[in-house]
Amino acid sequence: MKYEPHEYQEYATNFILSHPIAAILLEMGLGKSVITLTAIFDLTLDSFLIRKALIIAPLRVARDTWPAEIEKWDHLNGLTYSVAVGSEAQRKAALLQRAQVYLINRENVDWLINDSGLPFDYDMVVIDELSSFKSHTSKRFRALRKVRPNVKRIVGLTGTPSSNGLMDLWAEIGILDMGKRLGRYISHFRYAYFVPDKRNQQVIFTYKPKPGAEEAIYRLISDITISMKNTDYLKLPDLVINEIPVHLSKDERQHYEIMKSEMVLSLKGKVIDAVNAAALSNKLLQMANGAVYDGNGGVVRLHDRKLDALEDIIEAANGKPVLIAYWYKHDLERIMERFPAIRLDNAESIKRWNDGEIPVAVIHPASAGHGLNLQAGGSSLVWFGLTWSLELYQQTNARLWRQGQRDTVIIHHIVAKDTIDEQVMKTLKRKDKTQAALIDAVKANLKEALI
């Protein structure tokens, strides 16, 4: 296929070419893969500034999406690649092949650097989904930081740079610039820009930015960062966000409140308990959805409020395809018991969805997060169970709300009233404001660039 880049795509490619360190905040659907591959082609086969590029990505994206992009575009003809996934023997064989581009899933970064026995001689690294390096204590972060001084060029790609707040940026930017802009130590970064928020005596659970901290952080990273919103550069379909409330009965509410206050509940002869706040949050989300795991892994059903609401949504769709996002396995089981739904969990089912052959489909956000195009199959998404992860939430929504979608996209959220569901919705909206501020602060100004 002939590549006819938009102006923003040319701008982003040129930014990578002119910046040895580049953080490219591209929202979903803007073509980050072809933008980056165009730069790699220039650097390896035209200007000869680099010899080998390593692309680190989620497993399915490394295995399927990037190779498909290389083969798709005519102007990338001649750019060779090798996909290092699978067993250790398969990965080693792939890494020993001659190529310009090597693809590996992020889970194997530590293995590549510390255990493979192979030299880390890549002079360019691309991190697809930079947000997966937000934890400075993870093995992948520590391993890559160890070899980072040997890398001449590095690119970080993401549409969700601060999905859990500004604190994420220390690791994400630090893995790119080795701490030059936000400091070499997270303790210094935290002290300079944050104050304790939620705490229990001497134990601090969360931090909040100091006044002016956001602007200061954005200013520090602006020289290596560009951002682009898909709504600025693509003609996207209309988007309708809808919340559908469901109400628990008096008895269901009583069970919920007992669990919430006492962290233990006897229900239908089974004991449900939570050992800490995180486990309690998990149990309450399950109860809001209608079922909960007991201490032995069994499932105790509480109500069908969300299933009833889902039935109304499917009926109102009147035959138009509906995609359902679930979180817990027991949610999936109950949904598939009640509706003739098909799981989108392999290439065949995804093709059938996009061909319009599946009226009701279910998908887990963790498998829908990155690089999956589902816009041809439908325009209605239902969040049966909610997630705290802004990144997975936005990425899943973007499977339908993206370039090429012909219809108005409607995203339904089934929310159990007066439960933890309402807190999750508020948190997602609050995080989105922080992330939107970051993207706006470093947004690429194409008009100025093209003058």
Tell which wins on pLDDT, 172 or 375: 172
Determine the topology of domain 7-234+438-450 in CATH: Rossmann fold (3.40.50)
Tell which wins on pLDDT, 285 or 434: 285
Q: Say if 7-234+438-450 and 235-248+308-417 have the same CATH topology.
A: yes
Q: Quote helix, strand, coil % in the chain, to nearest 5.
A: 45, 20, 35
DSSP per-residue string spanning 4-46: ---HHHHHHHHHHHH-SEEEEEE-TTS-HHHHHHHHHHIIIII
User: Kindly report the CA angle at 433 between 432 and 437, in degrees rounded to 5?
Assistant: 115
Tell which wins on pLDDT, 154 or 379: 154
165, pLDDT greater than 90:
no
DSSP 107: G
443, pLDDT greater than 90:
no
pLDDT reported for residue 343? 93
CB atoms near residue 1 (< 10 Å): 9
Query: Which of 153, 167, 210 is closest to 20 using CA atoms?
Result: 153
Tell which wins on pLDDT, 96 or 449: 96
CB atoms near residue 251 (< 10 Å): 10
pLDDT bucket at 138, cuts 50 / 70 / 90? very high
403, pLDDT greater than 80:
no
Task: Please tell me whether residue 376 adopts helix, strand or coil conformation.
Answer: coil
Largest CA-CA distance found in the chain, in angstroms, rounded: 72
Per the CATH hierarchy, to which homologous superfamily does domain 235-248+308-417 belong? P-loop containing nucleotide triphosphate hydrolases (3.40.50.300)
Q: Determine what percent of the chain is predicted with pLDDT higher than 90.
A: 51
State which H helix or E strand residue 103 sits in: strand 101-105
Rounded to an integer, what distance in angstroms lies between the CA atom of residue 24 and that of residue 36?
A: 10
**Residue 225 bridge partners (DSSP):** 23
Q: Which of 176-185, 349-358, 425-434 has the lowest mean pLDDT?
A: 425-434
List of residues 6+ apart from 199 with CB closer than 8 A: 205
Per domain, the residue ranges of the chain are 7-234+438-450, 235-248+308-417, 249-302
Most confident of 26-40, 172-186, 225-239: 172-186
pLDDT reported for residue 450? 46
Most confident of 49-53, 63-67, 233-237: 49-53
Residue 318, phi-psi category: left (phi > 0), alpha (psi -120 to 50), beta (remainder) = left
Q: How far are the Cα atoms of 119, 175, 238 from residue 131, in angstroms, in the given order?
A: 26, 11, 27
pLDDT tens-digit series, residues 295-347: 888 999 999 999 999 998 888 777 889 999 999 999 999 999 999 999 998 88
Q: Which of 42-51, 77-86, 147-156, 402-411 has the lowest mean pLDDT?
A: 402-411
DSSP per-residue string spanning 295-313: TTS-EEE---HHHHHHHHH
pTM above 0.75, yes or no: no
pLDDT bucket at 451, cuts 50 / 70 / 90? very low
pLDDT reported for residue 78? 95
230, pLDDT greater than 70:
no
Task: Please tell me whether residue 108 adopts helix, strand or coil conformation.
Answer: helix
Report the interhelical angle of 420-441 vs 213-221 (nearest 10°).
Answer: 50
DSSP per-residue string spanning 160-215: -TTTT-TTHHHHHHHHHHTTTTT-S-HHHHHHHHEEE-SEETTEE--EEEPTTHHH
CB atoms near residue 78 (< 10 Å): 9
The residue written with tokens 């006492």 in the block is 262
**Paired sense of beta strands 53-57 and 124-128, if any:** parallel
Q: Which of 116-130, 332-346, 355-369 has the lowest mean pLDDT?
A: 355-369
84-113 burial by CB neighbour count: b if 16+ within 10 A, else e? bbeeeeebeebbeeebbbbbbbbebbbbbb
State which H helix or E strand residue 240 sits in: strand 239-246
pLDDT bucket at 368, cuts 50 / 70 / 90? low
Rounded to an integer, what distance in angstroms lies between the CA atom of residue 29 and that of residue 375?
A: 11
